[in-house]
Amino acid sequence: MSKWTGGFEFLMAMQEIRLDSTQYPLAGGRPSTGRLSSGVFGSTARRSGHSIAGTAAPQSRLHAALIFLFLMLLGIPWVIHIGSVRMSPYRILLCLAFLPCFVWWVRGKAGGIKAADIAVVSFSSWIGLSLVSTAGPGGLQSAGITMLETLTPYLLARCCIRGASDFRLFSKALFYLVMLMLPLIAIETLTGWKATLRLFAVFLPTYGDVVMPQRVGLWRAQGAFDHPILLGLVCSTAFSLAYLVVGYGRTLFRKGLLAAIVAMAVTCALSSGPILGVLLQCLLIGWKRVADKVGLRVVWIVTIAVLLSAQLVCWITNRSLLDVTISRLTFDPLSYWFRNIIWQYGWLSALNHPWFGVGLGEWERPSWMPGSIDNVWLYFAVKHGLPALALLGASFAFCLATVGWKQGLDRRHREYRCAYLVSIISCMLVGLTVHFWDGAYVLLMFLLGSGLWIADVEPASADVEQPLRTRLRTGYRTSGGARRPVNPPAR
């Protein structure tokens, strides 16, 4: 028996999701076959028949609604002033969701408390402490907003994304956001007219226009965000999720079409960092595909050999590998050299203020340098001290380790894990060249918490492939608890 989630007919119509009533225990349905049909471009994927904690459809209508509503609000550029506080639709949702999500997390509704959770809570708390310590009572407002945008989206993802279908719903909603924005940002790229901001400004004030010089004869689209870089970052986050999660079970052409839509949206921002992020995700996905075919050890040996060879050439030419790579892949090579100068002065400022940073104050730099720090890692070190940098790094490291070391996953979960890991690694590396703030930062923290459900998945009893080396040695592969010949005899 199919059930539609009330109030979200548009979402379900686009997804064409038909969920069995057993997936919604609150609705009082009876058990059924566990079939899941979905697809923007029409395809069907089936869950494996075994019982796994991470394979259920969205736990409740409330969780599905929160996931969808949160992502859609990111694409609304309204600016709402409440007193001296600048609010936006997604900030209002975060204010309303903080207490319930925190209670759910404490009560174990998001699974067991993990090391990554402690690291994120500690990171958020240290930010608040640093702002109050450096700015006194005047820093309370900034501390509250920053802690809200750091902790709440992470907990929201931890509580609402508890299975593979939840993760798929998140990926689809993010893809739909990018797809809906694409026509307007394409107009902006071609004409320079801020189509998205003008449309929403009919009702309420929006972000101010950011007019930047053309690149390759096109305008940099700002979309629904405060800066073109943020548009690129938000869209690039959806690339591997669209290809591996939304496109799971579909033909290569359809998966490529989904990824191409995201890539076009990223290109409209004409920002080097997000475009490099998409290229990096393609490289990582290809790396994994090769590793699945020939073995992880072989690919690692080849990868390390190539990197060492490239580094040797750079030593001979007296240039670093990072300098050679990024300086040739950016729209403006001078921007990379300027980021090097920011790194030098920013790191000196972080060393001069190692504990709490400069807070809301100015960091030490020449008078001709702007105050922006185009490096998310350096930003937190300068503004909130070296402990903030260490805790942020620990948050990412714990998430990657917790999910990456999970064993006994079936094929679907392995693909979803790959999408999560690739997205996180891409954001970490792109963050060396850009800063995440506002909607992009909130989405980053949501993404960070969106994959930890994989650690709670019970070992699969089917579709778990043995490594290639083992299959070649034994002549059998194990799947579904049975031994099957790798090359069965012809009948």
- Please write the tens of the pLDDT for every residue from 439-452: 999 999 999 999 99
Q: In angstroms, rounded to a whole number, what is the distance separating the alpha carbons of residues 455 and 52?
A: 12
Residue 77 or residue 303, greater confidence: 77
Share of the chain above pLDDT 70, in %: 78
pLDDT of residue 317: 66
Whether 447 and 396 have beta carbons less than 8 Å apart is answered as no
User: Who contacts 340 (Cβ-Cβ below 8 Å, separation ≥6)?
Assistant: none
pLDDT of residue 60: 74
Whether 325 and 333 have beta carbons less than 8 Å apart is answered as no
Average pLDDT over residues 6-18: 39
Residue 307 or residue 264, greater confidence: 264
What is the distance of C-alpha 289 from the center of its chain? 21
pLDDT of residue 299: 83
Q: In angstroms, rounded to a whole number, what is the distance separating the alpha carbons of residues 352 and 491?
A: 76
Average pLDDT over residues 53-66: 65
Least confident of 36-40, 195-199, 235-239, 304-308: 36-40
pLDDT of residue 302: 83
3-state secondary structure of 468: helix
Extended beta strands in 274-388, E state: none
pLDDT tens track for 138-162: 888 999 999 999 999 999 999 999 9
Q: In angstroms, rounded to a whole number, what is the distance separating the alpha carbons of residues 54 and 162?
A: 6
pLDDT of residue 11: 40
* pLDDT higher than 60, residue 193: yes
DSSP string, 382-410: HHH-HHHHHHHHHHHHHHHHHHHT--S--
Average pLDDT over residues 187-197: 94
pLDDT tens track for 389-407: 999 999 999 999 999 999 8
Closest CA relative to residue 199, chosen from 215, 219, 189, 184: 184
Whether 452 and 390 have beta carbons less than 8 Å apart is answered as no
pLDDT of residue 26: 34
* pLDDT higher than 90, residue 415: yes
pLDDT of residue 40: 37
Tokens 């509704």, residue located: 109
Residue 345 or residue 51, greater confidence: 345
Report CA-CA distances (Å) from 392 to 23, 230, 385. 36, 20, 11
pLDDT of residue 292: 84
Q: In angstroms, rounded to a whole number, what is the distance separating the alpha carbons of residues 460 and 480?
A: 8
When the pLDDT of each residue in the chain is averaged and rounded to a whole number, the result is: 81
The residues with which 78 forms a beta bridge, in sequence order, are 206
Average pLDDT over residues 411-424: 95
pLDDT tens track for 254-272: 999 999 999 999 999 998 8
Q: Identify the burial level of 433 via C-beta atoms within 10 angstroms of its C-beta, where 0-12 means exposed, 13-18 middle and 19 or more buried.
A: buried
Closest CA relative to residue 70, chosen from 165, 140, 212, 169: 169
DSSP string, 214-250: -BTTBPPP-TTSSSHHHHHHHHHHTHHIIIIIITTTS
Average pLDDT over residues 112-122: 94
Closest CA relative to residue 238, chosen from 265, 257, 220: 265
User: pLDDT category, 305, cuts 50, 70, 90?
Assistant: confident
pLDDT tens track for 367-383: 888 888 989 999 999 99
